[in-house]
Structure 1
């Protein structure tokens, strides 16, 4: 696949919910002012929103492609909509910086450990009530930054692009939390899974 991602900054907004995509696209628009070659990988949480999120991105004037169509990501591509199932870890691995959704709206967040395990700096919104313990562990290690709006998200992504050593420090801290707590974290995730399914 001709994916021109190697020489450009790539960030992912994963598991997004209704009300978050507008904020994320607004942040991306701000980011493009300082990094015109930045690529956003936007991954809605629910398949029924794949079409509407792609349409929103197009309507807002972003050169957008859909992962499901196997379209090439070229230098002009600004947004890649991750509208496939079972590929989130692959898409995280393509990105330099990971924002985890369900957290700018009061949804409780999603799994912050997936990007941390892939050695990515982790960003999220403030609504993390499903993952309080994990968020606290990552936060105290310096592996998680929380943002509340488009301006904060854009500024944080921009800073991590421009200061790769800070991004690496964050990413390594998250990986260290994972390695030090694998057993305990798995128990926590199992418990969260039971709560969410209940």
Structure 2
């Protein structure tokens, strides 16, 4: 099965090349670095690195606290790989030149082998739900400890992986530890072939995120310059099919709250033109973030067509909605608004963090909406009832406080393993 997987991957490379070319249009740096996907590098890098992989923007955000820990508590250089250019851009915004970055090589033996020999990582730390058979195999061959951290598995992914359990059991033999978010994730990883002794439940690292004071200062500056007198509803990380829902809801809310401004933050800023067309169809006035001009009393929608400003937008919100949850995407980080003391709502599709989302609902720290009417009713409740808003914020804050500590527990698992392991010798 392993050789079939490798052969299939090689056959798909021409299609990947076309996809890579199209995705990199107007991104010269992305195209210039195409060799990295095959394990070729134009400069010499630090060896014996602590290597973390975070596929894209969401994983980079989650990994940041772990990156900071290793950067501040280790004498080894930290290398971070991403799979996407937005992931790299977000990493650079958070870390600058304090860590090294290359793109993750394609999961083929030649590329991964060159990557491992070039960097000689002391360990591999992979965020959330990345299972690359060749990568795991090559790390095992070269005695590179391999950890999957903040790991999660949705019900749908589990069903898909179960079809290949006979193959995955062998793949997971090369993984040293799977550090999962919840007991439900632990059971699912066992189902697809990870032995129970390799699994540790630590909670969600996202709850250990710290919001820098600079973010709040930037947020205050944005509001003062662009919409100082407005009540603000922020909808973060929207996907196709969701904007229509919130634009319709906004028109109803505007009748009750004339000063309300809808701030839309699409998950992919490249969809900006598409969203503007939807606003124009609804006869709503739009200001784009990149225009750098203030909203007027007649502005209905402030469209954030940039990457890396979601936290700042949440920080200025009177109410927030975490999108990717009104369509079957699985939801995004519901804890960012809570960490900024902003009431949070989300939709019915929360497979990416279903257990934590339910626990937060049970603690009355968030509100779940199932349709347009729910959104209008609950936003109205929060904007009109100060007491209800405060109760929601306080419950969310208490939930986060009670469930922190995943970073410390994750690091403990990794460091305990590294202390006990025998010295390794990298293969040629």
Q: TM-score, normalised by structure 2?
A: 0.42
Aligned to 1:136: 358
The answer as to 2:257 corresponding to 1:35 is yes
How big is the shift at 1:187? Answer: 7.3
The answer as to 2:296 corresponding to 1:58 is no
Contact 2:226 2:293 in 1 (8 A): no
The answer as to 2:286 corresponding to 1:67 is no
Aligned to 2:227: 4
The answer as to 2:374 corresponding to 1:164 is no
- For 1:61-89, what per-residue CA distance to the aligned partner results, in whole angstroms no more than 9, with x for missing partners? 11110011112122221110111110000
The secondary structure found in structure 2 opposite 1:107 is coil
Contact 2:365 2:393 in 1 (8 A): yes
Aligned to 1:83: 305
Contact 1:134 1:185 in 2 (8 A): no
The secondary structure found in structure 2 opposite 1:123 is strand
The secondary structure found in structure 2 opposite 1:39 is strand
Aligned to 2:319: 97
Out of 224, 243, 247, the position equivalent to 1:21 is 243
Rounded Cα–Cα distance in structure 2 between residues aligned with 1:47 and 1:75: 25
- For 1:150-170, what per-residue CA distance to the aligned partner results, in whole angstroms no more than 9, with x for missing partners? 121011111111102211110
* Structure with larger Rg: 2
Rounded Cα–Cα distance in structure 2 between residues aligned with 1:120 and 1:99: 10
The secondary structure found in structure 1 opposite 2:225 is coil
What value does the CA root-mean-square deviation take over the aligned residues? 1.8
Bigger shift: 47-56 or 13-22?
47-56
- For 1:123-150, what per-residue CA distance to the aligned partner results, in whole angstroms no more than 9, with x for missing partners? 0110001111221221111111111221
Bigger shift: 130-139 or 88-97?
130-139
Rounded Cα–Cα distance in structure 2 between residues aligned with 1:23 and 1:97: 16
Aligned to 2:337: 115
Rounded Cα–Cα distance in structure 1 between residues aligned with 2:251 and 2:258: 9
Contact 2:269 2:304 in 1 (8 A): no
Unpaired runs of 5+ residues, structure 1, are 189-198
Rounded Cα–Cα distance in structure 2 between residues aligned with 1:143 and 1:124: 11
Rounded Cα–Cα distance in structure 1 between residues aligned with 2:375 and 2:388: 16
Rounded Cα–Cα distance in structure 1 between residues aligned with 2:317 and 2:297: 15
Bigger shift: 86-95 or 41-50?
41-50
Q: Which runs of 4+ in 1 moved over 4 A?
A: 185-188
Rounded Cα–Cα distance in structure 2 between residues aligned with 1:41 and 1:186: 35
Structure with the bigger RCO (C-alpha within 8 Å, sep 6+) is 1
Aligned to 1:195: none
Q: TM-score, normalised by structure 1?
A: 0.88
- For 1:1-30, what per-residue CA distance to the aligned partner results, in whole angstroms no more than 9, with x for missing partners? 53333x432111110111110001001011
Rounded Cα–Cα distance in structure 1 between residues aligned with 2:262 and 2:390: 19
The secondary structure found in structure 2 opposite 1:55 is helix
- For 1:83-141, what per-residue CA distance to the aligned partner results, in whole angstroms no more than 9, with x for missing partners? 11100000001111110001011111000011111111110110001111221221111
Contact 1:30 1:151 in 2 (8 A): no
Unpaired runs of 5+ residues, structure 2, are 1-223, 411-428
